[in-house]
Amino acid sequence: MDNVQVRESLSLIEKDRKYVWHHISPYKEEAPPMIVEKGEGSWITDYKGNRYLDAMSGLWCVNVGYGREELAEVAAEQIKKLAYTPMTNSHKSAIELAEKINAMLDDEYVIFYSNSGSDANEVAFKIARQYHQQNGEPNRYKIISRYRAYHGSSMGALSATGQSLRKYKYEPLSAGFIHVSPPDHYRKPDNISVEQYNLLKAREIEETIKFEQKETIAAVIMEPLITGGGVIIPHEVYVQEVERICNRHGVLLIIDEVICGFGRTGKAFGHQHFNIKPDIITMAKGLTSAYLPLSITAIRKEIYEAFKGTEENYHFRHVNTFGGNPAACAVALKNLEIMERENLFKRSEELGKKLLNGLEELKNHPNVGDVRGLGLLAGIEIVEGKETKKPVSNEKIAKLIAAAKAKGLIIGRNGDTVAGHNNILTLSPPLSSTDDDIQF
Ligand code: PLP
């Protein structure tokens, strides 16, 4: 057979095996990938007709659920009218979206568009460094983040990531990224209260700033709650103390809302649970419910001011071709309109409570160490025993995920833990899920 004949004789699965390099998934002959054909509401169907409840909303992103025709229509209309203009120019959807995002936030921000969560974080780091340079503190370049957090896959965002498994084969990464430990209540010492423990963890950031010379620290980046690293939800004293510490030492606070934003935790943005005002906020995923790629770095007005003035200062020398794509901005606007019309942030809060109540029952199981969540985001920590809290092996977690899939349920797992295991199951279903979906 010649090459053309070989190509034509292959099944879809065989072609996938031959031509497609999948994200993360290891190549395993015996476990072919799921080839997904369509999505409707919270359910996806593979090309053989098997249906699954997608309790991960893809990668924590399809917030309004699958199959929204109005999102397809708005994208088509925009493409017909204006397919593209670089964001060195501007266009109506980008302007309206920036205004809309401002209305959802508690302070005044300017909006910088990119394509992915990783991009948005890269932009945040570059702005933080340039801001300090232009503000008379050129030595502030270091970024502090937390172990177990995930901030993206590009070199800077991966440097901020605190999951060694994802990093060690690509090192050395960018210089100037420092990690501290997160507040993980489940593993706190018994002899201190949750508040005391959280304050101690926040002060670890302050100590790090002092050890490193505060004049060298540009920013702290954190998610409002660690999502992919195991659904680690801080007490509010932690987040508020981190904000105070940043203010005290002239360090910018970057909040990564890539997963927590757009209703995932039951509010528009995760940080709004904690009554703080971040200097920079990054967003992606739920911004368009992943119907098209788009991300945002929102920069507090005061910081933007440092980019005005002299010829030397006013350039932020960063460009990306696709950021602020007109169809993506139009989809984001319509997506936010759907969220508002269907009251999906409130729904996330209410359904989230229902989900968590149901999951609480699992705590009676000897291998369920902890169940935690906020809004429609939940984690189930699977351990060998409640006393030892020893994470179960990768193999056992993989079996659990496969067993759920065999019953028609897609669930996730966290990316990394301190011990190098992935022992936390994660749930992040569409905010538009029905009561029956959640019951399922
Ligand atoms: N930040 C967080 C908290 C994320 O969970 C992710 C992706 O999962 C990213 C950033 C990177 O986003 P992207 O995959 O769009 O680059």
- Which of 7-11, 14-18, 327-331, 385-389 is the least confident region? 7-11
Span from the CA of 283 to the centroid of ligand 1 (angstroms): 9
pLDDT at 28 over 90: no
Higher per-residue pLDDT: 269 or 47: 269
pLDDT at 329 over 80: yes
Specify the pLDDT at position 283.
98
Write out the DSSP string of 56-79.
THHHHT-TT-B--HHHHHHHHHHH
What is the CATH superfamily name and number for domain 3-67+343-439?
Answer: Aspartate Aminotransferase, domain 1 (3.90.1150.10)
Two structure tokens written together for 302? 């005061």
Residue 59 Cβ inside 6 Å of ligand 1? The answer reads yes
pLDDT at 421 over 70: no
Q: What is the pLDDT confidence band of residue 419, given thresholds at 50, 70 and 90?
A: low
Phi/psi at 119 (nearest 5 deg)?
-55, -45
Q: What is the pLDDT of residues 347-359, one digit of tens each?
A: 999 999 999 999 9
The rounded distance, in Å, linking the Cα atoms of 88 and 80 is 21
Phi/psi at 112 (nearest 5 deg)?
-110, 125
pLDDT at 388 over 80: yes
Q: What is the ipTM of this complex?
A: 1.00
Determine which residue's CA is closest to atom 1 belonging to ligand 1. 151
Two structure tokens written together for 227? 């999502």
Specify the pLDDT at position 7.
64
- Residues with Cβ within 8 Å of 98's Cβ and at least 6 positions away in sequence, in order, are 110, 111
Span from the CA of 16 to the centroid of ligand 1 (angstroms): 25
- Which of 48-57, 266-275, 313-322 is the least confident region? 313-322
Q: What is the pLDDT of residues 295-312, one digit of tens each?
A: 999 999 999 998 987 777
pLDDT at 26 over 90: no
Q: What is the pLDDT confidence band of residue 337, given thresholds at 50, 70 and 90?
A: very high
Say if residues 161 and 167 touch (Cβ distance below 8 Å).
Answer: yes
The rounded distance, in Å, linking the Cα atoms of 230 and 148 is 8
In this structure, what DSSP letter does residue 228 have? T
Phi/psi at 236 (nearest 5 deg)?
-60, -25
Residue 116 Cβ inside 6 Å of ligand 1? The answer reads yes
Specify the pLDDT at position 427.
98
Determine which residue's CA is closest to atom 13 belonging to ligand 1. 117
Specify the pLDDT at position 4.
67
Query: Could you identify the atom of ligand 1 that is nearest to the CA of residue 260?
Result: 3
Q: Which helix (H) or strand (E) holds 249?
A: helix 236-249
Residue 352 Cβ inside 6 Å of ligand 1? The answer reads no
Two structure tokens written together for 340? 């508002």
Span from the CA of 355 to the centroid of ligand 1 (angstroms): 24
Please state the domain extents for the chain: 3-67+343-439, 70-341
Residue 24 CB-density burial (10 A; 0-12 exposed, 13-18 middle, 19+ buried): exposed
In this structure, what DSSP letter does residue 383 have? B
Shared fold status for 3-67+343-439 and 70-341? no
pLDDT at 416 over 90: no
Two structure tokens written together for 208? 């790090």
pLDDT at 237 over 90: yes
Mean pLDDT of 159-176: 94
Closest of 208, 207, 231 to residue 149, by C-alpha: 231
Residue 259 Cβ inside 6 Å of ligand 1? The answer reads yes
Task: Map 336-351 to HEC letters.
Answer: HHHHHHCCHHHHHHHH
Query: Could you identify the atom of ligand 1 that is nearest to the CA of residue 119?
Result: 16
Angle at 70 between CA 64 and CA 73, to 5 degrees: 135
Two structure tokens written together for 76? 């088509």
Q: What is the pLDDT confidence band of residue 102, given thresholds at 50, 70 and 90?
A: very high
Span from the CA of 59 to the centroid of ligand 1 (angstroms): 9
Residue 99: alpha-carbon gap to chain centroid: 22
Mean pLDDT of 160-165: 93
Specify the pLDDT at position 420.
61
Residue 223 Cβ inside 6 Å of ligand 1? The answer reads yes
Residue 256 Cβ inside 6 Å of ligand 1? The answer reads yes
Cis omega before residue 172 (within 30°)? yes
The rounded distance, in Å, linking the Cα atoms of 340 and 434 is 17
Residue 150 Cβ inside 6 Å of ligand 1? The answer reads yes
Q: Which helix (H) or strand (E) holds 165?
A: helix 164-167
Determine which residue's CA is closest to atom 2 belonging to ligand 1. 151
Q: What is the pLDDT confidence band of residue 417, given thresholds at 50, 70 and 90?
A: low
Q: What residues does 209 pair with on adjacent strands? A: none
Share of the chain above pLDDT 70, in %: 96
The rounded distance, in Å, linking the Cα atoms of 332 and 91 is 14
Two structure tokens written together for 85? 């203009």
- E strands in 284-407: 295-300, 368-373, 378-382
Mean pLDDT of 122-134: 97
Q: What is the pLDDT confidence band of residue 418, given thresholds at 50, 70 and 90?
A: low
Specify the pLDDT at position 368.
97
Residue 287 Cβ inside 6 Å of ligand 1? The answer reads no
pLDDT at 234 over 80: yes
Say if residues 293 and 118 touch (Cβ distance below 8 Å).
Answer: no
Say if residues 383 and 367 touch (Cβ distance below 8 Å).
Answer: yes
Q: What is the pLDDT confidence band of residue 415, given thresholds at 50, 70 and 90?
A: low
pLDDT at 165 over 90: no
Q: Could you tell me which CATH class the domain 70-341 is placed in?
A: alpha beta
Q: Which residue has the tokens 């090309």?
A: 47
Mean pLDDT of 59-65: 98
Specify the pLDDT at position 426.
97
